[in-house]
Amino acid sequence: MGEYVAPLKDMRFVLNNIVDLEGLSQIDTFSHAESDVVDAVLEEAAKLSGNVLSPLNWSGDQEKTSVKDGVVTSPAGWRDAYQQFAEGGWNGISAPEEFGGGGMPQAVSLATVEMWNSANLAFALCPLLTQGAIESLIAHGTEEQKNKYLEKLVTGEWTATMNLTESHAGSDVGALRTKAEPAEDGSWRISGQKIFITYGEHELAENIIHLVLARTPGSPAGTKGISLFIVPKYLVNDDGSLGERNDLQCVSLEEKIGIHASPTAVMSYGDNGGCIGYLIGGENNGMACMFTMMNNARLGVGTQGLAIAERAYQKAVEYALERRQGRAVGTPKGESAPIVRHADVRRMLMTMKSQIEAMRCLIYLNGESLDKGHNHPDPATRQSALDLAELLTPLSKAWSTDLGVELSSTAVQIHGGMGFIEETGVGQFYRDSRILPIYEGTNGIQALDLVGRKLALRGGEPVRNLLSEMAHYAEEMRGNDEGLNGIARQLDAAVTALKDATDWMYSNAPNDPNAAPAGATPYLRMFATTVGGYLLAKSAVKARTLLDAGDSDTDFLNGKITTARFFAAQILPQVAGLLGPVTEGADLLFAIDENNLVAS
């Protein structure tokens, strides 16, 4: 079974041509992120992902994580791999240097996140949540809390979790019942139970810092009455040493479709009345604090969708090159051809390749927007970048995770009957991918966020600006190159359809509360596909410029152009086809009485 190989050349191309890595390195915060430094970081990350994490992916899936008497045991090799990960400084690669982090731009750290998750998604879930907690502590923690917790979280000596979900509430966080009672010493006593807590208990690190949403006495109903608490597995003394075990435990682990090596815990707090927590961000301000962590996680989960699709693609290409079956055009009589020579298999592979490259452009650009939004010296540039990041985040999360499932399924299809047999390993990617559209707010929630909040952001200015930018680019790239002209024509048609859908949303949403939600999911698909086509168009233009300048890497650059042309010809036309579903309205969704949905 072939191991993961990081697509470093493609990653570098995106960082240097879609993302302005050189421009980021001109910002004081990222002055050390020069191209040679970034190249070295990516090379080392590729070694760890391919040599250490990837070989544990299949064995971890088969062995699974287990729990006995509240003690969770990870698969063989897991703990050593985590120690190598932490000792390499990978957990804090994008954290501020003042807290012991690497201070790298998110655009760069997302490339490493992609590698970890392609190599071993179940493993990579642990540091993904820790990084979100770091963001939340930096944004909302007191100086005392930062001093007590951040350094160990940044180094990876401790890990963190996000505790939102309760069995009766699901995505309705406002319905949670976990309680927080004030204590005389200024701390709080937490009581309640949370479900679906990723890495809620494990033995990889010496401490786990749980961030737990709970209600304080007399708090308002719904999300306005939620507060966030730091609840350590082991209490932390003033000198930073570990104290007593807190009153919390892992009750059980969920039996899941995939990510078997990742412990998804049911956590119980305060069974003995003594679970100690510490308020972060102020009372009744928990959702604002948690969204800092969740927005980080949403982009991270979108990267997981890209990553699992990349890994499934590598597996599918490997199989298609080796598996011989049937005669392809030009194959001598009596001989079978590698299935990669069959047109339909090539169609599936190109569908995977083109959408993976589009996702990578989108996600890395999303990271760059956050980098500029938080660090650029010019206020207007910061605001514009933050607006773009707000708009791109639901696209990155929902589109990429939907495609993670779809393209992993395509990889199974390329394997034919053997894809349905576990020993090939491709089925694991399909199983692992299925949680991603559910994580961090289901993709339906991402679509509602897009049409309900992001279209209205700053009076719709960010949306109008992006639509105008894409339309202008499609017009500008027309010229003497027929291949680029074809991309321009398809991009222009997609932008026109997306603009029509956007205008419909603005016109109809105020008049019918179900109008925008009914079309939200296909609208997000329209938007993300169009942006993906736009970014691949930019890739093609840059590749053509490099070829014209005499760049010797002709196969790679011509491949960039061809991939963009395929996406424009085969994927972008789907955008216009989604205009009808977006603008149909909600009447047909509710035309059948809910009691008659089941056939009699």
pLDDT, tens digit (0-9, with 9 covering 90-100), for 415-473: 999 999 999 999 999 999 999 999 988 999 999 999 999 999 999 999 999 999 999 99
Average confidence (pLDDT) over 260-281: 96
Average confidence (pLDDT) over 570-579: 98
Please determine, for residue 241, whether its predicted confidence score (pLDDT) is greater than 80: yes
Contact 411, 427 (CB under 8 A): no
The dihedral sign for the CA sequence 446, 448, 451, 452: negative
Residues near 564 by beta carbon (within 8 Å), at least 6 away in sequence: 354, 487, 536, 537, 539, 540
Q: Is 43 helix (H, G, I), strand (E, B) or coil?
A: helix
Residue 214's H or E segment, with its range, is strand 207-215
Average confidence (pLDDT) over 470-483: 93
Please determine, for residue 475, whether its predicted confidence score (pLDDT) is greater than 70: yes
Average confidence (pLDDT) over 211-220: 94
Q: What is the pLDDT of residue 371?
A: 96
- The mean pLDDT value of the chain amounts to 95
Number of Cβ within 10 Å of residue 383's Cβ equals 15
Contact 284, 219 (CB under 8 A): yes
Considering only CA atoms, which of 347, 489, 458 is closest in space to residue 413? 347
- Least confidently predicted of 93-102, 174-183, 367-376, 497-506: 174-183
Q: What is the pLDDT of residue 510?
A: 86
Q: What is the pLDDT of residue 548?
A: 95
Buried b (16+ CB within 10 A) or exposed e, 448-478: bbbbeebbeeeeeebbeebbeebbebbeebe
Q: What is the pLDDT of residue 335?
A: 87
* Each residue's pLDDT tens digit, 296-342: 789 999 999 999 999 999 999 999 999 999 888 888 888 889 999 99
* Each residue's pLDDT tens digit, 17-30: 999 999 999 999 99
Please determine, for residue 68, whether its predicted confidence score (pLDDT) is greater than 80: yes
Q: What is the pLDDT of residue 528?
A: 98
Contact 105, 371 (CB under 8 A): yes
Catalytic residues: 440
Please determine, for residue 490, whether its predicted confidence score (pLDDT) is greater than 90: yes
How does DSSP assign 92-125, residue by residue? GTTS-GGGT-----HHHHHHHHHHHHHH-HHHHH
What does the alpha-carbon distance between residue 193 and residue 517 come to, in Å, rounded to a whole number?
Answer: 32
In DSSP terms, 210 is beta-bridged to 161, 231
Q: What is the pLDDT of residue 174?
A: 64
Q: Is 35 helix (H, G, I), strand (E, B) or coil?
A: helix
Residue 469's H or E segment, with its range, is helix 461-476
Q: Which two tokens stand for residue 240?
A: 């930073």
Maximal CA-CA distance, the chain:
86
Instruction: Classify residue 528 as exposed, middle or buried by CB count within 10 Å of its CB (0-12, 13-18, 19+).
Output: buried
Q: Which two tokens stand for residue 559?
A: 């491949």
Q: Which 8-state DSSP code applies to residue 218?
A: T
Q: What percent of the chain has pLDDT over 90?
A: 89
Give how far Cα 362 sits from Cα of 263, 556, 565, Å: 30, 20, 17
Considering only CA atoms, which of 11, 4, 262 is closest in space to residue 112? 11
Please determine, for residue 167, whether its predicted confidence score (pLDDT) is greater than 90: no
Residue 144's H or E segment, with its range, is helix 143-145
Residues near 596 by beta carbon (within 8 Å), at least 6 away in sequence: none
- Least confidently predicted of 125-134, 287-296, 491-500: 287-296
What does the alpha-carbon distance between residue 111 and residue 5 come to, in Å, rounded to a whole number?
Answer: 13
Which H, E and C letters describe 327-366, residue by residue?
Answer: CCCCCCCCCCCEHHHCHHHHHHHHHHHHHHHHHHHHHHHH
Please determine, for residue 254, whether its predicted confidence score (pLDDT) is greater than 90: yes
Number of Cβ within 10 Å of residue 323's Cβ equals 17
What does the alpha-carbon distance between residue 17 and residue 369 come to, in Å, rounded to a whole number?
Answer: 14
Give how far Cα 503 sits from Cα of 32, 91, 516, Å: 44, 43, 11
Contact 207, 236 (CB under 8 A): yes
Q: What is the pLDDT of residue 459?
A: 95
Residue 279's H or E segment, with its range, is strand 276-280
Q: What percent of the chain has pLDDT over 70?
A: 99
Please determine, for residue 208, whether its predicted confidence score (pLDDT) is greater than 90: yes
Q: Which two tokens stand for residue 193?
A: 């139970």
Q: What is the pLDDT of residue 168?
A: 74
Q: What is the pLDDT of residue 530?
A: 98
Q: What is the pLDDT of residue 39?
A: 97
Q: What is the pLDDT of residue 173?
A: 66
Q: How confident is the model at residue 479 (pLDDT cuts 50, 70, 90)?
A: confident
- Directed axis angle between helix 54-63 and helix 121-140, to 10°? 100
What does the alpha-carbon distance between residue 560 and residue 313 come to, in Å, rounded to a whole number?
Answer: 17
Contact 285, 215 (CB under 8 A): no
What does the alpha-carbon distance between residue 178 and residue 111 come to, in Å, rounded to a whole number?
Answer: 37
Considering only CA atoms, which of 123, 109, 34 is closest in space to residue 80? 123
Q: What is the pLDDT of residue 172?
A: 63
More confident residue, 600 or 597: 597
What does the alpha-carbon distance between residue 387 and residue 373 come to, in Å, rounded to a whole number?
Answer: 8
Please determine, for residue 88, whether its predicted confidence score (pLDDT) is greater than 80: yes
Average confidence (pLDDT) over 350-369: 98
What does the alpha-carbon distance between residue 77 and residue 120 come to, in Å, rounded to a whole number?
Answer: 13
Please determine, for residue 62, whether its predicted confidence score (pLDDT) is greater than 80: yes
